[in-house]
A and B are shown apart, each in its own frame.
Chain A
């Protein structure tokens, strides 16, 4: 059985559903129950907010010593992506040669396999990014 906490977060992981603070307008991902800027003023004002999936590469690194789930993709790109809504997400960039990648490049979210618990375990899915 998959980790229950991980599993409960699947809908937000698949669909990039974060929370928007109705007090200051900041969008948070992963979803948070309290806005760190507004604290108590944000209580009851955190509304579900689906990100557009579009963003720009803010920074990136090429990974040459991968985790086991990523060994077939080595070397691969991990990037911090600034989403249209302002929030920054970390994720792998796929469908892109490392040489083609640049800061500021426009990317969009896609659903891919994140890993699996061996050949008999659960398969984990979630967002990655690719050039637009």
Chain B
């Protein structure tokens, strides 16, 4: 295996999530486009999706998530050596989101910052880079964020799922609440979903890309990680997968041999939609919200293009002393919601052309 095992034990020191409070229902989107809302809802297993307010973007969402992570930890932001923000909806094409995020969390200026892109797995790529920096001793702590405010073209199937949210993980060696025993990636050239420079909306290969893209990459990556670790599905208390909708992660979990009680905790897309780079990381945050010392978690992200990053995680005794209550749980962020009609949704998402 060419990748995935470091010199020293590293893991998640603290985490935080953020979900904008507005929601739209699939029935409401379907009403406008003359489609069958009930069929869309059941086909995608998405009952509502999150929508950012007009003043929210990947930078503000990343800051919220990172501040939530810092609130829970007794950690000086000046000890963070690296900030990586993974997203496919960075507000600037040129000027890293991480520069503003780092400033807004009070990090030192003597740090390395970069923005990552890999469709929906840019945030987990940031986690892996962070593991490398921490494991090698180049950084004491490294902040990895996955955040998106994704857009589906109006009327496209993606419009029912593309939502907004973020999660931030601080990776370190000391005070680890969730040890990452190993990570592993599986990557190939698969054109299932893309967006060309300057285009406002992505394009995708349609339904048939599920098998060669999502299912192949997620299942192969998860299977290989379990083989390398000598584990099987029954060894894990929780499993969380990338969630482009509610159906895909449920199906891949069942294919791999996981049961509902293992994957339901991390399955958040049915209520908030696909938060892209944050999807698996918000699911993992929901698991960390309830997980107990000694429990094991399998997390597998997927990014179109395509690749998967898998993580084998064990909750440590440190979780007992961790100040979880200092920031909102994923459940409370999901519940804190206000419904929009399509008109307000279109206005919030900038889908209406305004006079400059």
Partners in one complex: yes
Distance (Å) between the CB of A49 and the closest chain B CB? 13
Within 8 A of B (CB), among A52-68: none
Q: Are B55 and A14 in contact (CB under 8 A)?
A: no
Closest to A10 in B: B103
User: What per-residue 1/0 map shows which CB atoms of A97-132 lie under 8 Å from chain B?
Assistant: 100000000000011111000110001010010000
Query: Is residue B92 within 8 Å, beta carbon to beta carbon, of the partner chain?
Result: yes
Q: How many Å lie between the Cα of A10 and that of B241 in the bound state?
A: 38
Within 8 A of A (CB), among B12-69: 21, 53-57, 59-60, 63-64
User: What per-residue 1/0 map shows which CB atoms of A1-30 lie under 8 Å from chain B?
Assistant: 000000000110011000000000000000
Query: Is residue A94 within 8 Å, beta carbon to beta carbon, of the partner chain?
Result: yes
Query: Is residue B2 within 8 Å, beta carbon to beta carbon, of the partner chain?
Result: no
Q: Are B59 and A125 in contact (CB under 8 A)?
A: yes
Q: How many Å lie between the Cα of A71 and that of B356 in the bound state?
A: 11
Distance (Å) between the CB of A95 and the closest chain B CB? 5
Q: Are B348 and A72 in contact (CB under 8 A)?
A: yes
Q: Are B91 and A94 in contact (CB under 8 A)?
A: no
Q: Are A14 and B103 in contact (CB under 8 A)?
A: yes
Query: Is residue B114 within 8 Å, beta carbon to beta carbon, of the partner chain?
Result: no
Known A94-B55, A110-B60; 17 more pairs at CB < 8 Å: A14-B63, A14-B100, A15-B103, A50-B106, A71-B354, A72-B348, A72-B354, A95-B53, A110-B64, A111-B59, A112-B56, A113-B54, A113-B59, A123-B57, A123-B91, A125-B60, A128-B55
Name the 3 nearest CB pairs between A and B, nearest first: A14-B104, A72-B54, A112-B55
A-B contact pairs, 14 of them (CB 8 A): A14-B63, A15-B106, A72-B54, A72-B354, A94-B55, A97-B338, A111-B60, A111-B104, A112-B60, A113-B60, A123-B91, A123-B92, A125-B59, A125-B60
